[in-house]
A = this chain, B = another copy of it.
Amino acid sequence: MFSSNINGDDNDVFRSFEQRFGVSAPGKDPAIKHTLPCSLEELYQGATKRVKITREVADRSGLTRKTEEILTIDTKPGWKKGTKITFEEKGNQRPNVTPADVVFIVDEKPHSEFTRDGNDLIVTRRISVTEAFTGYTVHLITLDGRNLTLPINDVIHPNYQKVVPNEGMPILGDPTKRGILKIKFDIRFPARVNAEQKAGMRRLFGP
């Protein structure tokens, strides 16, 4: 029903000249491109998305009329921003012209917790300076809805990262493998420090 370019980065070397340069074959309209916004959950777990398109369809006599059609796209775990899904000849029907292909290009919707970096996921947690010194437990809900609890007993310094293997995005074509999850920390320092706090810091940690 549809073909997808599994290379997210628009580097499909197998595309023909006409696809690569957006030039239509003689007698074929150029491809119609649409953005397909997907949540990170949809690109992690896969999802069935239905998209309504409007197109001209010709009857037997050659007369065209506008019709609505629902196209179904099954997102696959690991699809990336830029992945292309092509519905061949789903453009307008006109006499003597092959209808255009309709192409959907995946875009990633921003997520409130996770950002994606290739196959990796990054979470930044804002913590207090006391939490940085005394320990902090990261609680988070994965993109497939599991609870993850990660106690950190190290001192969390400004460049500290907790790396969790196999909790990143699924790798397309090998759903048993996933990238890494990196947890970074934004340590909230107090805006002002009084004399007692300054003396306390010197006493506890030296000069």
Contact = CB atoms under 8 A, between A and B. Distances in A.
Interface residues of A, number: 31
Contacts of A189: 132-133, 155-158
B133 A198 contact: yes
Interface string A148-188: 00000001111000000000000000000000000000111
B198 A201 contact: no
Contacts of A206: 128, 130
A32 interface: no
B130 A187 contact: no
A139 B206 CA distance: 21
A146 interface: no
Copies of this chain, how many?
2
Given A133-B198, A193-B133, A197-B133, A205 B128 contact: yes
B155 A201 contact: no
Contacts of A196: 204
Contacts of A186: 158
B202 A130 contact: yes
A192 interface: yes
Interface string A94-133: 0000000000000000000000000000000000111111
Nearest to A195: B134
Given A128-B206, A207-B128, A201 B134 contact: yes
B204 A134 contact: no
Given A128-B205, A130-B202, A134-B198, 4 more contacts: A128-B207, A129-B205, A133-B198, A197-B204
